[in-house]
Amino acid sequence: MVTAITVVAGVGLSAAASGDANAELSGALGAKWTRTQDGPQKYAGYTVKPDVPIRMSDGTILRGNLIRPTGRDGRPVSEKLPTIVNMTPYTKMVSALATEVMNYPALVPQLIELLNAINLQGTFLSGYNELVGALRGGLINTFAYDPKLIKSGYNMLVVDVRGTGFSQGDWQVFGSRERKDTVEVIDWVKKQSWDNGKVGMAGVSYSAINQLQAASDAPGQLGAIFPIVPGADLTQDVIAPGGGVGMGFLAPWLGLVNGTKLIPNVASMLNGTFDWKWLGDRVKDPLTYFDVMIEALTTRTPKGLHGTTKALVTAGSERRKSLYTDLSKVQTPTFAIGGWNDLFTFSESRLLTNLTSLNDGQRKLIMDDGYHITSGSNFGQPGYPPRLDVLARAWYDKWLKGIDNGIDRYSPATLSQEPSGTFVQGPTFPLPGHQRQRQYLSGRPSHTTSTPVAGDGSLSADAPSARATRQVKPGLSTVCSRDGAQSAAGITALFDFCARDSRVSEIAAQTFTSAPARVATTISGTPVVHLRQRLSATDGYWHATVNVVSPDGRSTTVSMGQLMVSLRALDRQRTTFAPNGDVIDAIPLLSIDDYRPVRPGQVLTIDIPMTATQAKLRPGDRLRVDLYAFNFPKGVPLGPELWSSQLRPQYIEIDPAAPSWVNVPVSRPLP
């Protein structure tokens, strides 16, 4: 039941490979924070006041559960205390149920140990251990509310986002009015008799995104935030990856939220206080954004897009602006948890760089190797950071209570290193000491593929000496891939052979593989695939992965990206270039105003934006680039793009005069 609740709520469970302990990673400070979280608390208990009405400036009433600590008499304490706000679209009823189940004292600890003791490694369900690992990693309490945190001296307010749960209004999906709601809720809290003026925020995924939004929209109003798997540029993250439609995630997610928002408040029906305005709002908009998705996938020409659909694909529109958070405005101490395979890796990997108003003591980032619903697995175990609830408690105690507990001295960047899962730490991400190197694509076979592939080529520091053309046909093998697991938020990681090994998905790929690394070499940062290509239609969709190939042939994806050729124009203000002009962090505009189909047969060079990574090649490991002509289900071409591409074959043109390469940030040159 616990697992089912967690998956439905959209939060996470996972386990990573064990690594060597690091003194700062899991040493004396971590043990101290854990004792504080797990030891006796100041107050005896807590009480939940359900469905507190909070009126917004436009008259819409949001409803929240107010949780406050109680004394031995069972009454809320009289002291003014800091308050933690959680804004959720998954209905506070689900979060309350998840919290109460997870904190049932007699059964749950034994149940968690039993679930984690079941070892399915080596079976076709080997990802099971990843999916249950976070039950002990502290994620559930940070998704909902943490009884230990409340009993230590905090109020908690869990509010249904406008148009979801029991709140009135139409669901805006991070629209400008919804963003204003969060700021107004924070202001409302500060005016209450039980709050001492110190307000923080908590939550996972959606509730992490609006933490960053609130901190940016109301600089200085929040005392601390602890966002887990947040996004800051939702268009680049999940809505239009590379210019396609992020259908693999968006379709089931919209179904989840639209389904839960229709659950009525049964208690109000029984006691005669049912909110008829709530019902009217739901009847008006029962399937938010499904019409937009259908239009995006079926419209045949750009001129056929209109309304919200057109606004979403137009850079600079008000709708696009509401989906973007300017992190440079954030003045609130921020401790973020991300993942290399998370839905929002694009944003998470850039957090430390973009939180320019904060110093190192006020900004922290942990990048796990998990997926969206597998974040924080095994945290608290040897070789891993402390549990998520432990870190959150220490962060709030420091910035909302002024307790000098050392959390501000935790390393700014704590990074899981792929594919092993061991952690490294440093002052920032990317880690210092890495230099850019081109690895060129060549038509010369590498003879390293032991399974069928569309084509076998080489990768090396030397430019190719001969011309070659490689054909790539659209295929569905990416359903069984790390990209597929990522777009499903990690649920399909249950089938570990897909998520951990790319040899199945490589059936449809042209592969380019390097010679073995002679010495241990790390990659820290964002690769970019610079591709000379040709289409047989007026558009095409390229998908690329960067993999680490072990001596036994296992191919592990460590970076992935995609790009519609018609939307190849880069955002010159945000894209980063090396001194020699190479693109080293490609950020496309993804705007219909820059939609530029090509002539069939025209040879063009594109730069495919990739996700960042922290990876390590051991001696004998190889670097590989896979190139695909489709990436279902993660990204599906927008309607006009799909009709233009006609899913025809695409071609890689290997030319010594105009070579293709992957630009990688490495600790030492690769052969």
How many domains, the chain? 2
Average pLDDT over residues 347-375: 94
CATH number, position 224: 3.40.50
Residue 110 has pLDDT above 80, yes or no: no
Q: Which of 2-6, 160-164, 515-519, 562-566 has the lowest mean pLDDT?
A: 2-6
**Residue 15 predicted with pLDDT over 80:** no
pLDDT, residue 374, reads 82
State how beta strands 413-417 and 363-368 pair.
parallel
Residue 198 lies in a domain: yes
| 272, 288, 304 - which closes a domain | 288
- Is there a domain that residue 134 lies in? yes
Q: Tell whether 359 is covered by a domain.
A: no
580 found inside a domain: yes
Q: What's residue 27's pLDDT?
A: 81
What is the per-residue pLDDT for 121? 59
Question: Given this model, what pLDDT does residue 130 score?
Answer: 63
Q: What beta strand segments (E) does 78-222 contain?
A: 81-88, 155-160, 195-204
The band of 142, judged by pLDDT with boundaries at 50, 70 and 90, is confident
At which of 234, 262, 288 does a domain end? 288
Give per-residue pLDDT as tens, 409-447: 999 999 999 999 999 999 999 999 999 999 999 999 999
Instruction: Give the end of a domain, one of 256, 288, 320.
Output: 288
Where is pLDDT greater, at 485 or 227?
A: 227
Least confident of 379-383, 425-429, 462-466, 625-629: 379-383
Q: Please state the length of the chain.
A: 671
The CATH number assigned to the domain holding 517 equals: 2.60.120.260
Say whether pLDDT at 293 is over 70. yes
Centroid of chain to Cα 104: 30
Across the strands, what pairs with 636? 245
Eight-class DSSP state of 588: B
Asked if residue 362 belongs to a domain, the reply is no
Residues 33, 393: contact at Cβ < 8 Å?
yes
* The predicted structure's pLDDT at residue 125: 58
- State the residue range of the domain holding 227: 43-288
Q: Which amino acid is at 12?
A: G
pLDDT of residue 98: 75
411 domain residue, yes or no: no
pLDDT at 93: 86
**In the predicted model, what is the mean pLDDT of residues 70-86?**
97
Q: Lowest-confidence range among 110-114, 195-199, 318-322, 402-406?
A: 110-114
pLDDT at 241 over 80: yes
DSSP state of 60: P
pLDDT at 549 over 50: yes
The pLDDT of residue 112? 62
Residues with Cβ within 8 Å of residue 175, at least 6 apart in sequence: 319, 322
The string of pLDDT tens digits covering residues 34-49 is: 999 999 999 999 999 9
Query: Sorting pLDDT into bands at 50, 70 and 90, what band is 487?
Result: confident
How confident is residue 1, by pLDDT bands cut at 50, 70 and 90?
Answer: very low
Q: What's the mean per-residue pLDDT of the chain? A: 91
Q: What is the DSSP letter of 482?
A: H
Position 117 scores a pLDDT of 61
CB 12 within 8 A of CB 379: no
Q: Roughly how many angstroms between the first and final C-alpha of the chain, as a whole number? A: 51
* 457-485 residue pLDDT tens: 999 999 999 999 999 999 999 998 988 88
Is 30 inside any structural domain? no
At 95 the pLDDT is 78
Angle, helix 28-38 to helix 388-401, in steps of 10 degrees: 90
Q: Which of 252, 345, 233 is nearest to 293 (CA)?
A: 252
For residues 259-288, give the mean pLDDT: 94
User: Is the pLDDT at 6 greater than 60, yes or no?
Assistant: no
Does residue 287 carry a pLDDT above 60? yes
Instruction: Enter the pTM of the model.
Output: 0.92
Check residues 243 and 1 and name the one with the higher pLDDT: 243
Is residue 299 included in any domain, yes or no? no
> Would you tell me how many other CB atoms lie within 10 Å of the CB of residue 11?
30
Mean pLDDT of 51-77: 97
**Residue 5 to residues 9, 98, 261: CA-CA distances in angstroms?**
6, 6, 16
pLDDT for the residue numbered 16: 32
pLDDT above 90 as % of the chain: 82
